[in-house]
Structure 1
Amino acid sequence: MGTDRLDEVLDATYDCLTRYGVRRTTMDDIATAMGVSRSAVYQYVRSKDDAFRRLAGRLHEQALGRARRAAADTGATYRDRVRGVLAAKLDLVLELSGDSPHAAELLDDKARLFGGICTAFTSDLHALLTGLFAEAGTVAGIEPADAATLCIAQVMGLEHSQDARRLLPLASDALVTAVLGVPL
């Protein structure tokens, strides 16, 4: 299967998602957006559901890649590394929500099509954060996994703020300072 052509299918799927949403998008819509026949689309995806699952997987994997790079950046402070992980999640949500109210459907962890992808993404972020906090050493009484849970909850709360990108550094710095016991 040609990856470039699959990427074109997923790009067309995203275009349709932003216009119509998951339920109203058809394989014909995806084919039209690509300028090909419906049978050509079926060479790369089995169904509309498969196209949306792959699209959600691609977007979450790209965000997870950004989070992994941030976590692995040993030249940065722990505060910046944690913020980078959280920014990857926040940016995914804000970009999808900003493109269309329909695009946010790809973030629904209870959705039949991509709930597992969303849940796995959050679990992977939690594992990255837990590793960072274990490596840095948290203050007495705060377990690294608990610190990671607090960070995830914090960024999820910011997802609904009008000023989320501006507030993320302030919020993450405050939390990391408290958890690691280091001054700003």
Structure 2
Amino acid sequence: MATDRLDEVLDAAYDCLKRYGARRTTMDDIAAAMGVSRSAVYQYVRNKDDAFRRLAGRLHEQALLRARQAAGADAPYGERLHGVLAAKLDLVLQLAGDSPHATELLDGKARLFGEICTTFGSDLRDLLTALFTEAGTAPGVEPAEAADICVALVVGLEPMPRARELLAPATAALATGLLGAAPPPGTHPLPPTDRGTS
């Protein structure tokens, strides 16, 4: 029950963040969004900074869980790679689509969220490195280098207007080059439903 209430607090904090940004949001705003007293909110978080840190942690943990599920799926490596990269891209696009203020949760240099963002990036890189270690990489490419290339690709796609559409062909090209095995003629390393959609 306490977890449900904490989720309600974090949902309310997110609503306020989207409207006002982290600096302008107050505990009164969060309480009003929940329809409770400010003292009721203090039962679950220490202050608004704590609420926003927990919110950032929750969103990054959810994205990392999706990435881990994709990496461990019983599927071809190209498809698994696409799933991992889509988890990161979807996090960024979701927040950017919700509000310019919501992207504050992605700021690796921010006092409140920096450590969470840095840990997420490191965990994602480790996950990709493990995937490339398992799959094998093209000659001259180390698994950690392949992981860095993939992260750079997603970061490059994030501001693009058609980022989701571009992820599938970009991942297919990466899978072909980094995994070192070209797909047979007439095939594609990703399922047809993933190509150019999303």
One fold, TM greater than 0.5?
yes
Coordinate RMSD, CA, aligned: 0.8
Residue 69 of structure 1 aligns with an amino acid whose one-letter code is Q
Q: Which has the higher helix share?
A: 1
CA-CA distance at 1:56 after TM superposition: 0.1
- Alpha-carbon displacement from aligned partner over 1:92-132 (angstroms, at most 9, x marks no partner): 00000000000000000000001110011011110110001
Contact 2:138 2:181 survives alignment (8 Å): no
Distance 1:147 1:51 in 2: 36
**1:49 partnered with 2:30:** no
**1:94 partnered with 2:93:** yes
Corresponding residue for residue 183 of structure 1:
182
CA-CA distance at 1:182 after TM superposition: 1.5
Corresponding residue for residue 169 of structure 2:
170
Distance 1:67 1:136 in 2: 16
Contact 2:139 2:180 survives alignment (8 Å): no
Matches within 5 A, 1:118-129: 118-129=117-128
Distance 1:183 1:26 in 2: 54
2:92 match: secondary structure: helix
**TM-score, normalisation: structure 2:** 0.91
Matches within 5 A, 1:25-174: 25-73=25-73, 75-174=74-173
Distance 2:169 2:139 in 1: 23
Distance 1:173 1:116 in 2: 31
* Structure 1 unaligned residues grouped into runs of 5+: none
**TM-score, normalisation: structure 1:** 0.98
Distance 1:77 1:109 in 2: 32
2:49 match: secondary structure: helix
After TM superposition, where is structure 1 displaced by more than 6 Å over at least 4 residues in a row?
A: none
2:161 match: secondary structure: coil
Distance 1:125 1:26 in 2: 32
2:21 match: secondary structure: helix
CA-CA distance at 1:175 after TM superposition: 1.0
Percent identical among aligned pairs is: 72
Distance 1:32 1:123 in 2: 36
Corresponding residue for residue 195 of structure 2:
none
* Structure 2 unaligned residues grouped into runs of 5+: 184-198
